[in-house]
Amino acid sequence: MYCQKCRLLFEGRLCPKCGKDRHARAPEASDPCFLIERGEPWSSMLADVLKQHGIPAIVSGRMGAGLATRVGSFLESSRFYVRYDDYERANAIVDELFGDDAPR
Ligand SMILES: [Zn+2]
């Protein structure tokens, strides 16, 4: 299932993040799906590798852009979203880079 609010893919009935089924539906190919959250230098590395594989990703920082530049981008943690039809491939890349038990 896919939660439209959290942009999260999950198994079962309830979204593990918002704990509801209200926003859940079957995923569609163009849905942005939450992949992983990483800080630097991993986020730049992952962005590069995804680009090399031709996987378009939406990357959003946790902090506002203005604040992030002031504090220093290495402190910023980035969230990666990929299209549902790229998700499996992107997930395999993440496993390769960070290992199966990498914290998401
Ligand atoms: Zn949710």
Reported as half-sphere exposure (CB side, CA atoms, 13 A), residue 13 has a value of 0
Which amino acid is it at 89?
R
The pLDDT, as a whole number, for residue 12 is 94
pLDDT top residue among 8 and 73: 8
Q: Structure pTM?
A: 0.81
Q: Domain of 17?
A: 1-27
How far, in Å, from the CA of 70 to the mean position of ligand 1? 31
How far, in Å, from the CA of 20 to the mean position of ligand 1? 6
* 5 and 21 housed in the same domain: yes
Place of tokens 């998401």: 104
d(CA 6, CA 19): 10
Q: What is the pLDDT of residues 13-62, one digit of tens each?
A: 999 999 999 999 999 999 999 999 998 888 999 999 999 999 999 998 76
When divided into structural domains, the chain yields a total of 2
Place of tokens 């996987």: 55
* 55 and 94 housed in the same domain: yes
The pLDDT, as a whole number, for residue 103 is 57
* 50 and 98 housed in the same domain: yes
Structure tokens at 1: 């299932």
* 100 and 68 housed in the same domain: yes
* 23 and 35 housed in the same domain: no
